[in-house]
Amino acid sequence: MEGYADLIAAEDVLLFVNAAITATGQREFHSSAGEQQLSLDFLHEYVLGNYREPYAAALALDINDHNAALIVRRLLETAADATPEQRSTEGRLIARRLQLLPPQRVYRLFDALRRARVNNRRTRAVLRDWLAARPDAALDAVKYRGALKRALRHAHLPPAAPELGEFLFGASLRGRYTTPLLDSWQRAHYTKAALYELPYTVAEGFARSHRIPRADFLAKIAPNLTRLERLRLQENAQRLGADAVRSDRTDLGRMPLTRLALYVLALPPARRAEHRAELTAALRAAARRTAGSEAGTWGAVAAVLDDSYSAAGSGTKRRRPLAVALACHYLLEALAERYTPLWTSGRTDALLARPHGATPLGHRIIDALDTAPARLIIVSDGWDNAPPGLAAEVLRVWRTRLDPDRRTSVVHLNPVYDADGFDVRRLAPTVPTAGLRDAEDLPALVEFARFADGRTDLDELTAHLAARTARFLAPAPPEDTR
């Protein structure tokens, strides 16, 4: 019975990790936002109540920001339930994870804690340490003024400097500030020129109040744009004639791989074809950077990539599953010594991928296995429907009859959370399935998927989580300044 209980515990933890990687509480192709949120809330409550240590250790894994914030919030809300040893580890995990989250998400987390009236000593210490580590307090004061005011009040903390206190809590406008960014914000209320000294997200509001034409604003604010802002605004700026916002190929190649794939798929097919060389080079450069030292070490790899109609995602996650598949395609190309990509639609031009048609996973898996790969990677939401169930039967026969010695490693990576099943949808019991949010996490998840083949040992899984936690909390190596 003890061994059976360990198996159930391991499966519960793996189920939660898959959800924490893929689910964001937003609408998916097959389920509404309400269903997603209800399913995810249940999982968080269940795992926190039964497996607190693995629940906290999930912060060290490749989970998405939405679930990381939820875990931090629930750990702080239930601090009284933790042992001193658990509180020590959780505190370090929370501090490290908050450093990696976008600041706007952290401020939303602090707002949620304030509304829930969570104000214990541990919460105040977390908030204090995070604010003290922020690299530019004036920038936070300008970009997140209301959220920062609420956070300081909630934790009873003083501002980082007296002038910041006057800016946040004093009169709306005053004479002059000695901090350049605060002074620019002050002057932007009266003069158009001053708003171009501000970050784009702050200047945009002033541009509307001054009724500056959008094209003029984008052309003049271009030097202040971050790489991501430049990429996001590029299409709109070009339509308006603000060519200064244009990104070059070097900018594209430095983009995160999955984000770049989303950008590429947002372009009309004609634009993709017109800039094929530039876009392909950028995707391959991002893939090589992601592969790092593993590039070319995976031997013969075959990939079944889902570009069926359901890969269109939803209105809030537009083309997200297809973008993950496209990014995985270029990453696997970089990792493999010999690579065979097979799209479910039968198309061969990855750059012009579009969501269309049914999902004949079974047929594509047969084609992939015919190439005798050392690794078969399947990237799909798991809705095998042409015909239904063929993929599961092919994989069962392959694993039990044709390849019982596991000469070919088969892993299913699923970018979509199934709210009804509280997990990502699986293809076959004999094939490990792992949730996948970003293609950048593919190598780590292929390693992690070995725990999801139905024969997981809890001690081994616990040891893996402990090792990941130790690496996550280890201090970063010093930079080489030579």
**242 and 274 within one domain:** no
In a domain, 145, yes or no: no
DSSP string, 169-192: HS-S--S--SSHHHHHHHHTTT-H
**242 and 279 within one domain:** no
**335 and 210 within one domain:** no
In a domain, 36, yes or no: no
In a domain, 290, yes or no: yes
In a domain, 171, yes or no: no
Instruction: Reduce the DSSP state of residue 411 to 3 states and report it.
Output: strand
Residues 6+ apart with CB under 8 A from 432: 410, 411, 412, 449, 450, 451, 452, 453
**402 and 287 within one domain:** yes
**CA pair distance 347, 368, nearest whole angstrom:** 14
**431 and 362 within one domain:** yes
**274 and 237 within one domain:** no
> Among 247, 277, 298, where does a domain finish?
247
Rounded to the nearest 5 degrees, what angle is found at the Cα of 30, between the Cα atoms of 29 and 35? 110
Residue 410 sits at φ, ψ, to 5 deg, of -120, 125
**361 and 293 within one domain:** yes
Instruction: Reduce the DSSP state of residue 16 to 3 states and report it.
Output: helix
**382 and 325 within one domain:** yes
**CA pair distance 88, 83, nearest whole angstrom:** 9
- Burial of 370-388, coded b for 16+ CB within 10 Å and e otherwise, reads eeebebbbbbbbbbbebee
**412 and 389 within one domain:** yes
In a domain, 143, yes or no: no
**401 and 357 within one domain:** yes
pLDDT in tens, the chain (482 residues): 445 566 678 888 888 999 999 999 888 988 888 999 999 999 999 999 999 999 999 999 989 999 999 999 999 999 999 999 999 999 999 999 999 999 999 999 999 999 999 999 999 999 999 999 999 999 999 999 999 999 999 999 998 888 888 888 886 666 688 899 999 998 998 899 999 999 998 999 999 999 999 888 888 888 888 877 777 776 665 555 555 555 555 567 788 999 999 999 998 999 999 999 999 999 999 999 999 999 999 999 999 999 999 999 988 889 999 999 999 999 999 999 999 999 999 999 999 999 999 999 999 999 999 999 999 999 999 999 889 999 999 999 998 999 888 899 999 999 999 998 888 999 988 889 999 999 999 998 888 777 766 555 677 788 888 888 999 998 765 443 33
Give the residue from 398, 338, 388, 400 showing the smallest Cα distance to 366: 398
What one-letter code names the amino acid at 281? Answer: A
Q: Which is it for strands 409-414 and 433-435: parallel, antiparallel or unpaired? A: parallel
In a domain, 32, yes or no: no
CB-based contact 156:124 (threshold 8 Å): yes
Structure tokens at 138: 């004036």
The owner of tokens 């061969």 is 348
In a domain, 313, yes or no: yes
**195 and 331 within one domain:** no
**For 214-271, how does the pLDDT look when each residue is reduced to its tens digit (9 = 90+)?**
888 888 888 888 877 777 776 665 555 555 555 555 567 788 999 999 999 998 999 9
In a domain, 465, yes or no: yes
Q: What is the CATH number of the domain that holds 282?
A: 3.40.50
> Among 205, 226, 247, where does a domain finish?
247
**288 and 267 within one domain:** yes
Structure tokens at 260: 């770049």
Q: How many structural domains comprise the chain?
A: 2
Domain with 362, as residue range(s), is 259-473
